[in-house]
Amino acid sequence: MLARSLTLATLLAIAAPLVFADDAPLAQDLGKARPLVVIAPSTADPVLRGINDALKEPAAQAGFKERNLVLYSVAGMVGKRDDKFLEQQTTMALIRELSLGARNGTQVILVGKDGQKHEIKHDGTLDAKEIFAAVDALPAEEKAITAPEPVPVAETKAGKPAKAGEPAKPAKPAKPLPPPKPLDD
């Protein structure tokens, strides 16, 4: 019985990090985009509605794409990423990741490509120009961050990169290990 309990505990200790590995929803945008997170008490919130209405305009959409913005919205306990619903666990992980604490009212947080959080102050309304001004005010180092480079192409025998249409040669199989020596008693 004790052995089974220890085995189960060991399996849970090993598997738990793998199950909860996707616990950081903003990690997928790190280095690629700037998440704009709006946490509102309800969908009728004027700040959230103003941002959603602004995104229906082509000029605002172009500004969002130009500045690599991704809109996360949490109204009540329902989360969305670019107007697509998030799972409840992902929404809760987003709120935990921001670690804002208990506050009243609507909160607007701009997360830079470097992962730094910047709160955007507002007076009950917020338009696209104020958001764009906050993005443009980010430090130059943050603007220079790019997504990680893809893995390089396989190389040929001479150490030169393989041509685009040319398939890479398969690696030679490793030599088999010699059989183990018998133990001396």
Structure tokens at 161: 């990169």
By the 8 A CB rule, do 122 and 130 touch? yes
H helices within the chain, ranges in order? 2-19, 46-54, 58-66, 88-98, 128-136, 140-143
Record the pTM: 0.65
What percentage of the chain exceeds 90 in pLDDT?
38
pLDDT, tens digit, for every residue of 105-139?
899 999 998 889 999 988 888 888 999 999 988 88
How far apart CA 68 and CA 64 sit, in angstroms, is: 6
H helices within 20-155, ranges in order? 46-54, 58-66, 88-98, 128-136, 140-143
Residue 52 neighbours by CB under 8 Å, 6+ apart = 73
**Phi then psi dihedrals of residue 36, to 5 deg:** -110, 110
The whole-chain average pLDDT of the chain stands at: 80
Question: Which of 86, 1, 73 is CA-nearest to residue 37?
Answer: 73
Beta strands 84-85 and 107-111, pairing class = unpaired
Total residue length of the chain: 185
pLDDT, tens digit, for every residue of 22-58?
568 888 898 889 999 999 999 999 999 999 998 899 9
Structure tokens at 35: 């998440």
By the 8 A CB rule, do 135 and 35 touch? no
